[in-house]
Structure 1
Amino acid sequence: MNIPILFEDGESLVIDKPAGLPLDQPRAGGRSLEDYLDDLRFGFQRQPLPVHRLDQDTSGCLLLARNPKAHKRFSAAFEARLVEKRYVAIVAGLLEADEGTIELSLSKISSAEKGWRMIPAKKGKPAITHWRKLMVAGGLTLVEFRPETGRTHQIRVHAASGLGVPLLGDPVYGTAGGAGRTMLHGAGLTVQRETKPAIVAVAPLPADFVALGFADA
């Protein structure tokens, strides 16, 4: 598998993670990002390690740290909300408004029938997402999401419960049909650093987004 490199320096890599590639080894077996970390050393002594997480279905910008000190600094930047994250997603319908902000606290629940998932809950953890409509094609809408917080499944729940329209292909918060995966893509990542220029990475729209009519977005 060819994993594109979007940014590289002595302490960091940003890769364009392919959709369908999990970060951790699946219980049922199969390939994961762990299988490619040795190839991503590029001559460095240590394997790079992911600083944050992307769902298996989600493609796009993933930051890897090349040493433990960098990993600690980058993790702290994510915790302090000093990282700008830009996602694009295809939602399964049309939106009346052009932009807005969703503030829905989230909580994790679990059941024997459906497994675990996140739900809006007043006593949950605060979650804020800014959104903007980019383009409409074939009854679908391409939306830009800029999350302020980094809660699990934040964009997926905020689309379904905040916008009232789930992400296309989302089997948990919407309907699995219409696409081969949950149509969410990490399009941009900016990480400020104290003594070095910022890490800036941009991931182009994947082929499955383009195939649905969003090539010009």
Structure 2
Amino acid sequence: MQTFCQIDNFSILYQDDYLVAIHKPAGLLVHRSPIDKHETQFAVQITRDLIGQKVYPIHRLDKATSGLLLFALDPASARHLSDQFMQHDIQKTYQAICRGWGNESGYIDHALKYKRDKIAEKLKREQLEPQSAETAYSTLATTSVDFTIGRYEQQRYSLIELKPKTGRKHQLRRHMNHIHHPIIGDVKYGDRHHNHFFNEWLGQHRLYLAATQLEFIHPNSNQPIIIECPLESSFQYALEKLNF
């Protein structure tokens, strides 16, 4: 079985004088963290070394999530983009393979309990209260696989497009679990039986969640910009096997 953490899948998707967008492979940390002290490769350092200049992180992707990651190339652009993220003016799009068949589209408005960041300092009491969290979703495709899990001889799966309106920790993973369609490969909030089936069936271990598009206002031109990101080869392989 192969665990995906290859830098081979790392690539630059867009670059100008003010920002750079990369494809972050699943299994790669955005930056150094005391939580994963054994890791030696990080998206920030790889991008910096590749383009030969300092980069400023604007947002984060979970280590297990692949896809589009945006960096600024100067402090002013970083502030401009960070403000857009803080105001939820940047539209983020993800794709996920989920258990079951659900509605064609829907809107999840479900507050999430605040999760402490282990590298954060002291938190105010009000920060520990549940935080509003909203996610729009639409089903792109559905399929079924003849395989017995529990009392069901056939398993149903969906390819779902997700557009988070807020940016809470693990929001998409928690929201999909909340509506009983957990993301495949999610070892924290997902279904271990289906995760194990995918691992054995496909011979690869990963979270099937990918950031595929960002829409925002360019920090210098003030014009709308859309950057798209292709799915990682391991994700594409799963789609092919599922006949999506």
TM over 0.5: yes
3-state DSSP of counterpart to 1:204: coil
User: After TM superposition, which residue ranges in structure 1, 4 or more long, deviate above 3 angstroms?
Assistant: 214-217
Matched, 1:210 2:236: yes
Partner of 1:85: 92
Counterpart pick for 2:105 among 74, 99, 103: 99
In the aligned structure 1, how far is the partner of 2:220 from the partner of 2:161? Answer: 30
- Which one has the bigger helix percentage? 2
Shift of the alpha carbon at 1:125?
0.7
Task: Give the equivalent residue in structure 2 for 1:170.
Answer: 186
Q: 1:83 to 1:109 in 2, by over 3 A?
A: closer
Answer 1 or 2: higher relative contact order, Cα 8 Å, separation at least 6.
Answer: 2
Count of aligned residue pairs for this structure pair: 200
CA distance in 2, matches of 1:165, 1:47: 40
Task: State which of 125, 134, 145 in structure 1 corresponds to 2:162.
Answer: 145
Pairwise CA distance, 1:199: 3.1
User: Per-residue deviation at 1:209?
Assistant: 2.0
Choose 1 or 2 for highest CA Rg: 2
Please give the secondary structure, in 2, of the residue aligned with 1:130.
strand
The answer as to whether partners of 1:40 and 1:47 remain within 8 angstroms in 2 is no
Render the CA deviation track for 1:174-207: whole Å, top value 9, x for unaligned: 1252241211100100111375133321111221
Q: Is the partner of 1:16 in helix, strand or coil?
A: strand
The one-letter code sitting in structure 1 at the alignment partner of 2:14 is F
> In the alignment, which of 24, 46, 49 is matched to residue 17 of structure 1?
24
Deviates more, 1:20-29 or 1:181-190: 20-29
> Is the 1:135–1:214 contact (alpha carbons within 8 Å) kept by the matching residues of 2?
no
Deviations 1:20-45 (A, max 9, x none): 10112231233222431332334xxx
TM normalised by structure 2 equals 0.75
TM-score after normalising by structure 1:
0.84
Percent identity, aligned pairs only?
28
RMSD over aligned Cα, in angstroms? 2.0
**Matching residue of 1:157:** 174
Deviates more, 1:138-147 or 1:53-62: 138-147
1:156 & 1:102 partners in 2: Cα distance? Answer: 12
Matched with 1:113 is none
> 1:28 aligned to 2:38?
yes
Q: Residue deviations 1:65-104, cap 9 Å, x none?
A: 001111111000101111010000011x222311100001
Structure 1 runs not aligned, ≥5 long:
111-122
After superposing the two structures, state which structure 1 stretch, 131-140 or 80-89, moved more. 131-140
For 1:59 and 1:201, locate their aligned partners in 2 and report how far apart those are by CA, in whole Å. 15
What letter corresponds to residue 101 of structure 2 in structure 1? L
Check conservation: 2:113, 2:130, Cα contact below 8 A. yes
Against the structure 1 CA distance between its residues 194 and 64, is the aligned structure 2 distance closer, same or farther, given a 3 Å change threshold?
closer
Match of 1:8 in 2: 15
Q: Which residue identity is paired with 1:191?
A: F
Match of 2:66 among 34, 59, 71: 59
